[in-house]
Amino acid sequence: MSTMKLASTVLVAILVAGVTGCGVQYGAGTNGDATIVISLSGTPTAGDGSSADGRTTVTGSSQTTGAQPETEADLPSPGATTARPGVTEQSQSNQDNRAERVIRIGQGCLGAKYTFGAPPSMAPKVFDCSSFTQYVYSKVGVRLPRTATQQAEKGQKVTGALTKADLVFFHISSRKQPIGHVGIAVGDGRVLHAISKGVTFSSLSGTWKKILLEERSRRVL
C-alpha cells in the first residue's frame, strides 16, 4: 500500500473513532494492506459488517461501520405488550365508579317533590319514579326510556345478588300493569327512589320486600 493511501486510511479511522468514542488499532493485513481496527462497545447486529467482538475493520480506503445497538432502555421489558394493561380490572373499576356516581347524583335529589306522571322537563325539582331514574342515569351516559315497564327491558337481568346502581322494580296493586314502580339499589338492603313523599331512601324489607319483583331487576351499567 502506498504511503498516501495508508495515511488516508488512518485518517478515516481516526475520524470514525473521534465520532464514536472508540479506540483505534492498526497493523498489517493478510494481503499486505494496512488494517485499522476500531473497537466498538455493545453487541453488533447481524449483518452490520462488525466482527464478533464488536469491532469494525477498515481496510485500505473503504470503511464499514457497525450499527449502534439499542440500549437497554430502548428495549421492551419481558412480556411487554402494546395492549392496554389490566383492561378487565379497569372496566370493573369504571363500572364501580359509575355506580357510585349514580348514587351520589340520586342523593343530590333527596327531598325533591313527587308528582305522578311528572315530565322530564320538571327535573331535578319534581319527579315521578321513572323520570327520577331516567334523570339520574342520564348523568352517567345511560339513556333509559320513560316508563318503569320500558326500563325493565333495558340492560341485563340480574341473576345473583343486587349490586349498587341496579334497577329494582315493584308491583303496585292499584296499577293495571305488572310493574308499577322503579328505584335504584344502593347497597345495604336499601333503595333510592321517588315516592309520594319525594325522593328518599327506603329499606328493602317489610312492605317493599313483599312487592319487590326480584326476577325483574336489571343491571344497566
- Positions annotated as catalytic residues are 129, 181, 193
Residue pair 123/136 in contact by the 8 Å Cβ criterion? no
Radius of gyration of the chain (CA): 38
Q: How far apart are CA 60 and CA 40, in angstroms?
A: 19
Residue pair 182/171 in contact by the 8 Å Cβ criterion? no
- In Å, what is the CA distance from 191 to each residue of 20, 77, 107, 126, 188? 72, 48, 11, 19, 9
